[in-house]
Chains A and B, each alone.
Chain A
Amino acid sequence: MEGLFFNVDTGFLEGIVRGYKSGTLTQSHYASLAQCETLEDFKTQLSATDYGNFLANEPSPLSTATIADKATQTLVDQFNFIRSNSVEPLSKFLDYITYGYMIDNVVLLITGTLHERDTHELLERCHPLGIFDTMPALCVATNVEELYQSVLVETPLAPYFRDCLSAADLDDMNIEIIRNTVYKAYLEDFYNYVSTIGSTTADVMHNILAFEADRRTINITINSFDTELTKEQRAKLFPAIGRLFPTGNNALAKADDIDQVRQVCENVSEYRSFFDNSASAQTNGDLGDFGVAAQLEDRFFRMEVHLNKLAFLQQFQYGVFYSYVKLKEQEIRNITWIAECIAQDARDRIHDFIPIF
């Protein structure tokens, strides 16, 4: 039944998003981008794609940062176009997408202030999708309580922060804990929200969000080895959703090294491949934990891209909007990576991006 009336409110926007999606760079685009000698070539090559002349008015020499900025700007423009044309419940859904970026921005600002960086510089580095009105005022807060009371209380993030209110002073460790608690709350809330807006959306989004939650769980576990974080505290940070929940989460909460993490992941067939090569790499010895984590991150990204691509197979659901933003973000990361490789003349690593289509 939801399919019957879906197009009344959302058909246009879904069409737009699918149109945008067909503009994402393909394998052949990447191949020709990777052949570029200079960033000027890169610009010429990109102008033949959907990015069009987004760099036409930039004076040379180009910098990688400009390319990334401009590319992000195109994504933001597209998102804002969709957001301003949407109605409930899609608009709410789209807002949920921005919450993730808002959390990142909040954490970025707090960390920056803690290290006494210039506020304006910090504001420029914030992701444009997650900017909100009162954000600049974050830099005056010195503890979470104050942060909450002065700024966050009127943002949509307020309920997520409520769980981690403590008068404790902000330090790096605490911020990391806050970030993860808040993100956990956000993911759970988002998960619940998508359950209320139709079963198709829920099906698609639950897959993606479950993976997102699992990824965070695994990351938290690996990153908390050899830190002061107690195991109880660690367990509190795990989102209560995902395919590892609850058994896997419990096991992970007790894990002490990467092998135990791998054993947990073995239980989920899709995750089994995450540690395949990394185990052999570890036996080679030289990479160590850091190498494993880096490789793991790469695989996570691949998995994320794969899941997001799947979202486009279903019609009449909102997952495409989420997936489009995520895929485009990945694409921008890819472009930046290739541009960076060209700029620094590191051609051997130029193919280490994650192709989308």
Chain B
Amino acid sequence: MGDDYPTLFRSEQMSLMQFLIPTEVAHDTVAELGELGNVQFKDLNPAVNPFQRSFVGEIRRTEEMARRVRFFESQIQKEKDVVPIRPLYDSASLVTVGPSAAHNIDELDVTLAAHETRLVQMNDSYKTLSERTRELVEARHVLRETAVFFEKAETQQTDIRTSFDDSSAPLLQHDDREQQYLSTVQFDLEFVAGTIDRTRISTFERVLWRVLRGNLYMNHTDITEPFIDPATGAETRKNVFIIFAHGDALLAKIRKVAESMGATLYPIDANADKRSDSLREVTARLEDLETVLYNTGVNRRSELVRIGEHLARWQDVVRKEKAIYETMNLFNYDVRRKTLVAEGWVPTRDLTMIHMALRHATEESGTSVVPILQELRTSKTPPTFTRTNKFTEGFQTIMDAYGIATYQEVNPGLFAIVTFPFLFAVMFGDIGHGLIILFAALYMIFQEKKWARQELDEIVGQFFYGRYIILLMGMFSVYTGLMYNDIFSKSLHIWHSGWDFLEAGSNGVSYALSNGHIYPFGVDPAWHGADNGLVFTNSYKMKMSVVLGVIHMTFALCLQLPNHIKFKRPLDIYANFIPQMIFLQSIFGYLVVCILYKWSIDWSTRDTEPPSLLNMLIAMILSPGKVDATAQLYRGQGFIQVVLLLLAVVCVPWMLCMKPYFQWKEMQKIQGQGYVGLGHRNGGPRESTDEVLEIEEEGNGRVIVEEMEEEHEQHDFSEVVIHQIIHTIEFCLGCISHTASYLRLWALSLAHAQLSEVLWSMTIEKFLGLSGIFGTIALVMVVVFWFSATVFILCIMEGLSAFLHALRLHWVEANSKHYQGEGYSFAPLSFAKLDEKE
């Protein structure tokens, strides 16, 4: 593999680099590297508590700034009318690197603090003002409602009195009656009025009733408009209540209960004139307050608009600053505390870019001290970094979801670009459905620029992320659809059919005769609707899926080879790859050959019946050497099968024993030279002397923190044996079950074809014959129904199911043949990714 061009075949070569950064340019360097997004820094002081690290103060400061920015953001979001937030690319930039950086950040800190205090002040005054407004509004409501209530009560009272008058008139004197009448106008009942939260009104009523033992008369009405809390923006709805009771003790109790339940009480006079006076007063004060409130609101809003101008920039700066200092916390000081020492993984290819970035950073910061970069030798496994673009990203993600490839291992993500959509399409073969998803994918791709910038919801976002997978799935489905000759379960007549249907015989059955044509591409449309059509496609698709499966597995098995060669494991080639290949080919490769051979023979001219291949395979294993004469495929079949079976049987002990044996021999050899045991115990000191030597040679040329869990592989022999036994059993059984597993290609494609046929025949077909205006209307409606069912059931639901099965075939059947997937992914410090995460 050439190192000059990025490839998907293997992950990038990584180097562990050491950066010696002078303290004064550290910040700018990290900022530059963060923009580049190419370095994964290692934590050099894992033992240190997060709050004991060097840059905690700075982090705390940025966190405080971030809190302020969040506060602004929430304030802006809460505002009813939308306050415009100027997008990042449009807002004034803020220099955070170079000599003026510290000054700028200080200034930003001050600005933020000033804005915050101003905003908090405004909020407070706004809150007090609106609180007072609210009280006045409530008071007005209470006044109005009680007025209504009193008026009503008065008229009722009069009614009662009059009726009372009538019955008792003769007994009472006239002036008494007069007096009584007067006293009813003057209410002598005491009452409490106020407002309370609507949700609490029933509890309130109940509690009061119980406390006062029913000695009260309560009335309440809804206030129609809601009250809005200025700080939280939450709406509350309230009720006006008025309670009549007798006696000071009771009234005091009512007041106490009301206050403890969060009600607000308002002094209301029983006298109607005084009430209207206070109503006038309240209204007047309310008007004054509202103007003040309006002005405060306008001021506050203009402040928010000013903040909105810069908010995006501030967010960006604060986020970056925090990331920078968090990264710098991973660094180590050298002895003189003049320079910071950092270590990180870098793609070897990008070293020049990093060098340039470092130089650029020094120039920016205006000093002449260039950070020093040097490569370290290490035994640690580097992270796996696969460069993807928007096209390959989706496919790579599918494979990464199974497991991140081991460093420099063959990456199945590359091959998935073709095999994944292909296996999907085998199950989803229909031109029409393929076109639908193809157009959906094309639409998403054309909307790419627009959609990439906006927030998508979860489901749409997922489809959008896989748009190129869907594109390829659509194209491949059209292809397989052409192969199966299916378009919405109908067939296309592009060329001459190879069969002519004869006139129907007396029993109503018509037979097709071959007319010498051979349909050049795909399945002959004459099969469509034929009585034995299903039998034909069944047998065809079943065999096809076995053929495809064996090819796919063989290919996946072959991918072991570049791995073994790359990592210099010749033993694995002889002890694993070759016997596995022979085992697979001698049984299932042979089956594929038989399938192809059987297809190539014109059985109508033979005198024997076509043999069942399944029975043949079973007989090959259960009764080796014997082949039934009636079920013979070719001459000498028995002998060849015995040979193949023997080959397969030999492979099992070969796989089982060879690798452990050679490893054992290797160990014996080392032991013979007297290294084992000592090798382990001697390992430490010897390495350290090396280290000393190297430090003498090239200064800080070693990794500063050698990880505690140095991966000295324990060459425990029993472990090797057990591992190999498991591996062998897994492979042999896997071959059988995985081949059977590929039959899902057959099952799903058949199910898909049948389902679409059922959908067609149950809906459109029944309405095609109808004529007249109703027939047309019905047809249109049915077509609409059919189309939506096609999209939702056949394209989306069936598509997801086929996707899932294709995924499984890749993860389980193919990956188990070669993929280790024990790596960890490259997670560089990158400001671009920081934005994505938010």
Residues of A within 8 A of B (CB): 32, 35-36, 40-41, 44-45, 48, 56-57, 59-60, 119-120, 123, 133-134, 136-137, 139-140, 146, 149-151, 153-154
C-alpha gap A120/B264 in the complex (Å) = 13
A137 touching B51, Cβ below 8 Å: no
Question: Which segment, of B205-213, B381-389, B564-572, faces chain A?
Answer: B205-213
Establish whether residues B50 and A151, one from each chain, have CB atoms under 8 Å apart when the complex forms: no
Question: B50 touching A154 by the CB < 8 A rule?
Answer: no
A139 nearest CB neighbor, chain B only: B260
Q: Knowing A48-B50, A134-B206 touch, does A140 contact B56 (C-beta < 8 A)?
A: no
Of A48, A133, A140, A149, the residue contacting B203 (CB under 8 A) is A133
Contacts of B103 in A (CB 8 A): none
Contact in complex: B60, A44 (CB < 8 Å) = yes
B residues less than 8 Å from A134 (CB atoms): 203, 206-207
- CB pair A45–B210 under 8 Å, yes or no, is no
Structural contact, A41 and B51, CB atoms closer than 8 A = yes
List the B side residues contacting A133 at CB < 8 Å: 200, 203
CA distance A151 to B260 in the complex (A): 13
Residues in B with CB closer than 8 Å to A32 are 49
Contact B56 A44 (CB under 8 A): yes
In the complex, are the beta carbons of A151 and B259 less than 8 A apart? no
Q: Select B50's contact among A45, A59, A123, A137, beta carbons within 8 Å.
A: A45
A59 to B203, CA, bound (A): 37
Q: Of the candidates A44, A60, A123, which one forms a contact with B51 in the assembled complex, judged by CB atoms under 8 Å apart?
A: A44
Q: Across the interface, do A57 and B261 meet the contact criterion of CB distance under 8 Å? A: no
A123 to B261, CA, bound (A): 10
B177 at the interface (CB under 8 A from A): no
Q: What are some 10 contacts across the A-B interface (CB < 8 A)?
A: A32-B49, A41-B51, A44-B60, A60-B64, A133-B200, A133-B203, A136-B262, A137-B257, A140-B256, A153-B210
Give the CA-CA distance A120 to B257 in the complex, in Å: 12
Please tell me if B808 contacts chain A, counting CB pairs below 8 Å: no
- Most A C-beta atoms less than 10 A away, residue of B50, B51, B257, B262: B51
Q: Would you give the shortest CB distance from B746 to chain A, in whole angstroms?
A: 37
Tell me if B51 and A136 are in contact (CB < 8 A): no
**Min distance, Cβ B682 to any Cβ of chain A, angstroms:** 35
Distance from A146 Cβ to chain B, minimum over Cβ atoms (Å) = 8
- CB-CB under 8 A from A139, the residues of chain B are 256, 260
Query: In whole angstroms, what is the CA distance A193 to B289 when docked?
Result: 58
B686 touches A (CB below 8 Å):
no
* Min CB gap B124→A, angstroms: 14
Which of A56, A134, A140, A149 lies at the interface centre, i.e. has the most chain B CB atoms within 10 A of its CB? A140
Q: Main secondary structure on chain B at its contact with chain A?
A: helix
Whether A140 contacts B257 in the complex (CB less than 8 A), given A134-B207, A151-B210, A153-B210, comes out as: yes
Contact with A along B49-63 (1 / 0, CB 8 A): 111100010001001
Which residues of chain A have C-beta atoms less than 8 A from B256's C-beta?
119, 139-140
Interface positions of B (Cβ within 8 A of A): 49-52, 56, 60, 63-64, 67, 70-71, 200, 203, 206-207, 210-211, 253, 256-257, 259-262
B75 shortest CB reach to chain A, Å = 12
- Shortest CB-to-CB span from A192 to chain B, Å, is 29
- Complex interface: chain A residues within 8 A of B210 (CB): 149-151, 153
Residue numbers in B under 8 Å from A41 (CB-CB): 51
Given A41-B51, A57-B71, A59-B67, also A150-B211 (CB < 8 A): yes
Is the pair A57, B49 in contact by a Cβ cutoff of 8 Å? no
| Min C-beta distance of A187 to chain B, whole Å | 28
Given contacts A45-B49, A45-B51, A137-B211, list 16 more A-B pairs with CB under 8 A. Answer: A32-B49, A36-B51, A40-B60, A119-B259, A134-B203, A134-B206, A136-B261, A137-B207, A137-B257, A140-B253, A140-B256, A140-B257, A140-B260, A150-B210, A150-B211, A154-B206
- Chain A residues within an 8 Å CB radius of B70: 56-57
CA distance A118 to B207 in the complex (A): 20
Q: Of A36, A56, A136, which one neighbours B260 at CB under 8 angstroms?
A: A136
Q: A226 vs B257: C-alpha distance in the bound complex, in angstroms? A: 38
In the bound complex, residues from chain B placing their C-beta under 8 Å from that of A35 are: 49, 52
Instruction: Provide the bound-state CA to CA distance between A46 and B256, in Å.
Output: 42
Chain B residues near A56 (CB, 8 Å)?
A: 63, 67, 70
Picked from B50, B52, B67, the residue with its CB within 8 Å of the CB of A57 is B67
Q: B60 near A140 (CB under 8 angstroms)?
A: no
A44 and B56 alpha carbons, distance in the complex (Å): 9
The docked-state distance in angstroms from the alpha carbon of A56 to that of B62 is 12
Cβ contacts under 8 Å, B262 to chain A: 136
B residues within 8 A CB of A57? 67, 70-71
Residues of A within 8 A of B67 (CB): 56-57, 59
- Please name all residues of chain A whose beta carbon is closer than 8 Å to the beta carbon of B259 when the two chains form the complex: 119
- Smallest CB-CB A-B distances: 9 pairs: A136-B260, A137-B207, A150-B211, A41-B51, A119-B260, A150-B210, A133-B203, A44-B51, A136-B261
Q: Note all chain A residues with C-beta closer than 8 A to B63.
A: 56
Q: How far, in angstroms, from A19 to B67 measured CA to CA in the complex? A: 29
Q: How far is the CB of B710 from chain A (nearest CB, A)?
A: 24
Chain A residues closer than 8 Å to B200, beta-carbon distance: 133
- Cα A32 to Cα B206 with chains together (Å): 52
Q: How far is the CA of A45 from the CA of B59 in the complex (A)?
A: 13
With CB as the reference atom, state the residue of chain B lying closest to A45. B51
- Minimum Cβ distance to chain B for residue A36 (Å): 7
Q: Is the CB of A137 within 8 A of B260?
A: yes
In Å, the complex CA distance between A152 and B200 comes to 17
Which residues of A sit under 8 angstroms from B203, Cβ to Cβ? 133-134
> Known contacts A57-B67, A150-B207: does B50 contact A136 (CB below 8 Å)?
no
Q: Please pick, from A44, A123, A151, the residue contacting B207 in the complex, using a CB distance under 8 A.
A: A151
A136 to B257, CA, bound (A): 7
CA distance A57 to B72 in the complex (A): 12
Q: How far is the CB of B753 from chain A (nearest CB, A)?
A: 40
CB distance from B201 to the nearest CB of A (A): 12
CB distance from B389 to the nearest CB of A (A): 35
Contact A123 B260 (CB under 8 A): yes
Q: Distance (Å) between the CB of B505 and the closest chain A CB?
A: 62
- Tell me how far the C-beta of B503 lies from the nearest C-beta in chain A, rounded to whole angstroms: 65
Q: Give the docked Cα–Cα distance between A45 and B211 (Å).
A: 50
Q: How far is the CA of A48 from the CA of B261 in the complex (A)?
A: 40
Bound Cα distance from A48 to B50, whole angstroms: 9
Give chain A residues whose Cβ lies under 8 Å from the Cβ of B207.
134, 137, 150-151
- With the chains together, A48 CA to B211 CA distance in Å? 50
Q: Is the CB of A140 within 8 A of B211?
A: yes
Specify which of A44, A48, A134, A136 lies most central, judged by the most chain B CB atoms within 10 Å of its CB. Answer: A136
**For B60, what are the chain A residues with a Cβ–Cβ distance below 8 Å?**
40, 44
B1 to chain A, nearest CB (A): 42
CA distance A140 to B200 in the complex (A): 18
A136 surroundings in chain B (CB, below 8 A):
257, 260-262
What is the CB-to-nearest-CB distance from B571 to chain A, in angstroms, rounded to a whole number?
44
- Measured CB to CB, the closest approach of chain B to A117, in angstroms, equals 12
Q: How far is the CA of A154 from the CA of B200 in the complex (A)?
A: 15
Check if A44 sits within 8 Å of B50, measured CB to CB: yes
Expressed in whole angstroms, the minimum distance between the Cβ of A137 and any Cβ of chain B is 4
Q: How far is the CA of A139 from the CA of B259 in the complex (A)?
A: 10
The closest CB in chain B to the CB of A151 belongs to B207
Minimum C-beta distance from A66 to chain B (A) = 14
A228 to B372 Cα, complex, angstroms: 82
**B residues near A48, Cβ cutoff 8 Å:** 50
Q: Across the two chains, which residue of chain B brings its CB closest to A154?
A: B206
Taking the nearest CB of chain B, how far is it from the CB of A265, in angstroms?
A: 42
Complex Cα distance A136/B261, Å? 6
B215 to chain A, nearest CB (A): 13
Task: Give chain A residues whose Cβ lies under 8 Å from the Cβ of B211.
Answer: 137, 140, 146, 150
Most B-side CB within 10 Å, residue of A36, A44, A60: A44
The chain A residue with its CB closest to the CB of B263 is A136
Docked Cα-Cα span, A32 to B60, in Å, equals 18
Contacts of B50 in A (CB 8 A): 44-45, 48
Measured between C-beta atoms, what is the minimum distance from A147 to chain B in Å?
Answer: 10
Distance between Cα atoms of A40 and B56 in the complex (Å):
10
Least Cβ distance of A260 to chain B in Å?
A: 45
A56 CA to B64 CA in the complex, in Å? 9
Chain A contacts for B253, CB-based, 8 A: 140
